[in-house]
Amino acid sequence: MSVFIVLLGAPGAGKGTQAKILSQKTGLPQISTGDIFREHLKNQTELGKLAQQYMSKGELVPDDVTVAMVRERLSRPDCKRGAILDGFPRTPAQAEALDVMLAEMGGKVGVVPFIKVPEDELVERLSGRLICRAQGHIFHKKFNPPKVPGICDYDGSELYQREDDRPEVVRNRIRVYLEQTMPLVSYYREKGVLVEIDGTQPIEKVTEAIWAALPEEVKHA
């Protein structure tokens, strides 16, 4: 049976940072719906242009569009063992759709690390976040700076600030998270798969805490 890890947490909690580390350690692919939408936007596809209308305001892309995109992604051969989901699901309807898709594939949600960070720290993290143009590697001006300012440590590409990390948009993203995504905490708690993680610790400590909660079968790359 394939095992899926759902990283849950507010914007800026550290989902993308942890997903990249866990993907390397487990060999499972990272599936970030935000990254996929940004890739579509970069390539100016119809989906990218549609998603941008919501992303620029900090709103969620409609469930039907997002679920169809994830369904296609999960059907690829690299998801046979499972995957690390980062930024999906984000609404109860998406969580229910995920359960149906995984049941069809003979998979399950193995664990849901819920990375908790207080709101004022989220704002500080997002306002200093830097992303690499080539592959979306994540840095922070103060908390996780690149070795050379403005340049990605891993592939040498340029670092940029996401347009939706501007303070006005960040406030709306956090509001949307509280209203639409927070209900997933009780959804997964009731299923017995939620594990609370203190996201205010240093990056390595957060990884250790998540690692301790992972099912044994995903720990072997």
Active site residues: 15, 90, 129, 162, 173
Name 82's bridge partners.
Answer: 3
Identify the residue among 34, 110, 113, 199 touching ligand AMP (CB under 6 A). Answer: 34
Cβ-closest residue to ligand AMP?
A: 34
51: nearest Cα among 43, 42, 63, 41:
41
The residue from 16, 29, 89, 107 that contacts ligand ADP (CB under 6 A) is: 16
Q: Which of 18, 22, 88, 109 binds ligand AMP (CB under 6 A)?
A: 88
CA-nearest of 61, 92, 117 to 181 is: 92
Residue pair 41/163 in contact by the 8 Å Cβ criterion:
no
The residue among 3 and 197 lying less far from ligand ADP, judged by its C-beta, is 197
Vertex 212 angle, CA 3 and 131, to 5°? 75
**CB neighbour list of residue 79: distance below 8 Å, 6 or more residues apart:** 2, 29, 31, 73, 105
Helices (H) and strands (E) in the chain, counts: 9, 8
Residues of 144-157 as b/e, b for ≥16 C-beta within 10 angstroms?
bebeeeeebeeeee
> Cis omega (within 30 of 0) on the bond before 89?
yes
Q: Contacts with ligand AMP: how many residues (CB under 6 A)?
A: 17
For ligand AMP, the closer of residues 54 and 143 by Cβ is 54
SS3 56: coil
**Interaction residues for ligand AMP, span 144-163 (CB under 6 A):** none
The yes or no reply on residue 90 touching ligand AMP (CB under 6 A) is yes
Q: Near ligand AMP by CB under 6 A, which window of 29-37, 71-79, 150-158, 196-204?
A: 29-37
Residues 98-137, one symbol each (x = binds ligand ADP by CB under 6 A, - = not), give: ---------------------------x---x--------
Which residues contact ligand AMP by CB under 6 A? 11, 33-34, 37, 54-55, 58-61, 66, 87-88, 90, 94, 164, 173
Which residues contact ligand ADP by CB under 6 A? 9, 11-17, 125, 129, 138-140, 143-144, 201-203, 206
